[in-house]
């Protein structure tokens, strides 16, 4: 379980950004979470609940946007979103595809600030 | 003047500090000419046994060294010290994975330029290590024949982020009715094109191919 340390990193990042903007409050943290990030969404949300209480943003919400895995199919010459990370092949033509274009994200995309 | 709530774009990777340290390490490894291989697997798949044989074998010609991550004990480092290669234990305490900063501080007293190969044995865990770049050139995932052929499907992320797979304990394959075909199929499903090497650290079956593979990877041009 590394979700607690991930949750703490998310909050540290939000704190840094808030400080950089003159110590504003943070209401919402928007996080992009890729299917291949190695982080479990439910575990992260639970860990976040614990971690946020220790910070100055006790009421701050975490909103997670799931990013599915997208691969590049060399046969179709196109990006394809795969329905499951248990099978890396083009859903259109069945060609094995290991070139991951998206899906590894673990990124704070935006913050909702309160002055 | 007052402002209401506003949304600002941030676009920062949560693990940016780790990624930054990993990038610096990768540059240092490159400059020193050391090839760095990290090993990941579930507990008991045979990382330490393979590493002991690997270090002993490479030590005849090259200058290998190893860092081993473990939650609490020094046992692995003691075992690996028998290979006569430099070995250092990283105790992670309660942490279930290694991070780049731990690798960096463990390397502080070592001269990288004096090494050809550095192995980093991660904590036995198929989940948490997948998110953390350690600056390695190659990540190798180990899977023992006793674990069941569906492991890659249960832990697709770690298999997908690995560069090669080593199937260990192949001397037991028959006894445990290891389904080779299914295992290969599952590995290829989550990581098409991944090189697979079969090894028994006990009988040394396949050890030669593994060592050759390491040498090839080290001395082939890197992008």
- Residue B95 structure tokens: 């942490």
Query: What confidence tier does B207 reach under pLDDT thresholds 50, 70, 90?
Result: very high
- Residue B65: C-alpha distances to residues A4, A30, A68, A76, B124 (Å): 32, 42, 39, 44, 19
Domain of residue A27 covers 3-68+102-114
Contact state of B6 with A113 under an 8 Å Cβ cutoff:
yes
Q: What is the CATH number of the domain that holds A47?
A: 3.30.2320.50
pLDDT at residue number B221: 64
CB contact under 8 Å between A85 and B157, yes or no, is yes
Does some domain include residue B219? Answer: no
pLDDT band at B94 (very low <50, low <70, confident <90, very high): confident
Instruction: Give whole-number Cα distances, A67 to A7, A95, B162, B212, in Å.
Output: 18, 22, 21, 39
Residue B80: pLDDT band by 50, 70, 90 thresholds?
confident
**In this complex, which of A36, A88, A115 lies closest to B2 when CB atoms are compared?**
A115
User: What is the number of domains present in chain B?
Assistant: 1
Across the interface, of A1, A38, A111, the residue whose CB is closest to B130 is A38
Identify whether A59 is part of a domain.
yes
Q: In the predicted model, what is the mean pLDDT of residues B145-164? A: 96
Whether B119 has a pLDDT exceeding 80, the answer reads: yes
CA-nearest residue to B158 within chain A is A38
CB contact under 8 A, B13 and A27: no
The sign of the CA dihedral B39, B43, B47, B52 is positive
Report the domain count for chain A. 1
Residues B1-44: pLDDT tens digits?
455 679 999 999 999 999 999 999 999 999 999 999 999 999 99
Residue A62 lies in a domain: yes
When CB atoms are compared, the residue of A31, A98, A114 closest to B5 is A114
ipTM given for this complex: 0.91
Contacts of B20 in chain A (CB under 8 A): none
Q: Would residue A89 count as lying in a domain?
A: no
Q: What is the pLDDT, as a whole number, of residue A68?
A: 98
Beta bridge partners of residue A96, listed in sequence order: A89
Q: Do A1 and B128 touch (CB under 8 A)?
A: yes
Give B-chain residues touching A13 at CB under 8 angstroms: 10, 12, 14, 16
pLDDT range class, residue B78, cuts 50, 70, 90: confident
Domain with B94, as residue range(s), is 17-214
CATH code assigned at B175 = 3.40.50.300
- Which of the residue ranges B46-50, B89-93, B178-182 would you say has the lowest mean pLDDT? B89-93
Provide the pLDDT for residue B222: 56
B3, part of any domain: no
Q: What is the pLDDT of residues A27-59, one digit of tens each?
A: 999 999 999 999 999 999 999 999 999 888 889
pLDDT average, residue stretch A4-8:
94
Q: Is residue B185 part of a domain?
A: yes
Residues of chain B contacting residue A112, judged by C-beta atoms under 8 Å apart: 5-7
pLDDT at B100 over 90: yes
pLDDT of amino acid B3: 57
Q: What is the mean pLDDT of residues A102-106?
A: 97
Cα separations in angstroms, A10 against A25, A62, A64, B13: 15, 9, 12, 9
Indicate whether B222 belongs to any domain. Answer: no
B130-135: average pLDDT: 95
* Average model confidence (pLDDT) across chain B: 93
**pTM of this structure:** 0.93
Compute the nearest-CA separation of B189 from chain A (Å): 5
A80 occurs within a structural domain:
no
């Amino acid at each position: 379980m590394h979700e607690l340390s991930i949750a703490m990193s998310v909050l540290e990042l939000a704190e840094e950004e808030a400080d950089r903007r003159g110590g504003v409050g943070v209401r919402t943290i928007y996080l992009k979470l890729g299917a291949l990030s190695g982080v479990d969404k439910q575990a992260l949300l639970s860990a976040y609940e614990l971690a946020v209480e220790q910070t100055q943003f006790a009421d701050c919400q975490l909103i997670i946007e799931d990013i599915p895995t997208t691969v590049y199919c060399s046969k179709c010459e196109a990006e394809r979103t795969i329905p499951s990370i248990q099978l890396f092949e083009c859903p259109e033509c069945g060609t094995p595809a290991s070139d991951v274009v998206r899906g590894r994200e673990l990124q704070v995309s935006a913050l909702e600030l309160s002055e | 003047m007052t402002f209401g709530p506003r949304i600002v774009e941030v676009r920062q990777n949560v693990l940016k500090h780790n990624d930054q340290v990993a990038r610096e390490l990768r540059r240092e490894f490159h400059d020193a000419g050391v090839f760095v291989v990290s090993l990941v697997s579930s507990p008991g798949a045979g990382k330490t046994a393979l590493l002991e044989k690997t270090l002993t074998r490479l030590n005849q010609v090259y200058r290998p060294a190893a860092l081993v991550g473990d939650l609490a004990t020094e046992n692995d480092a003691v075992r690996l010290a028998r290979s006569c290669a430099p070995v250092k234990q990283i105790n992670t305490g309660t942490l279930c994975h290694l991070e780049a900063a731990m690798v960096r501080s463990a390397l502080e007293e070592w001269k990288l330029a004096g090494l050809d190969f550095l192995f980093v044995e991660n904590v036995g865990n198929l989940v948490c290590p997948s998110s953390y770049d350690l600056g390695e050139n190659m990540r190798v995932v180990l899977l023992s024949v006793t674990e069941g052929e569906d492991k890659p499907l249960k832990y697709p992320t770690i298999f997908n982020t690995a560069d090669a797979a080593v199937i260990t304990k192949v001397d037991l394959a028959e006894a445990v009715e290891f389904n080779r075909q299914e295992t290969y199929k599952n590995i290829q499903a989550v990581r098409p094109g991944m090189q697979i090497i079969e090894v028994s650290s006990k009988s040394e079956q396949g050890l030669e191919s593994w060592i050759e593979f390491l040498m090839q990877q080290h001395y082939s041009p890197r992008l």
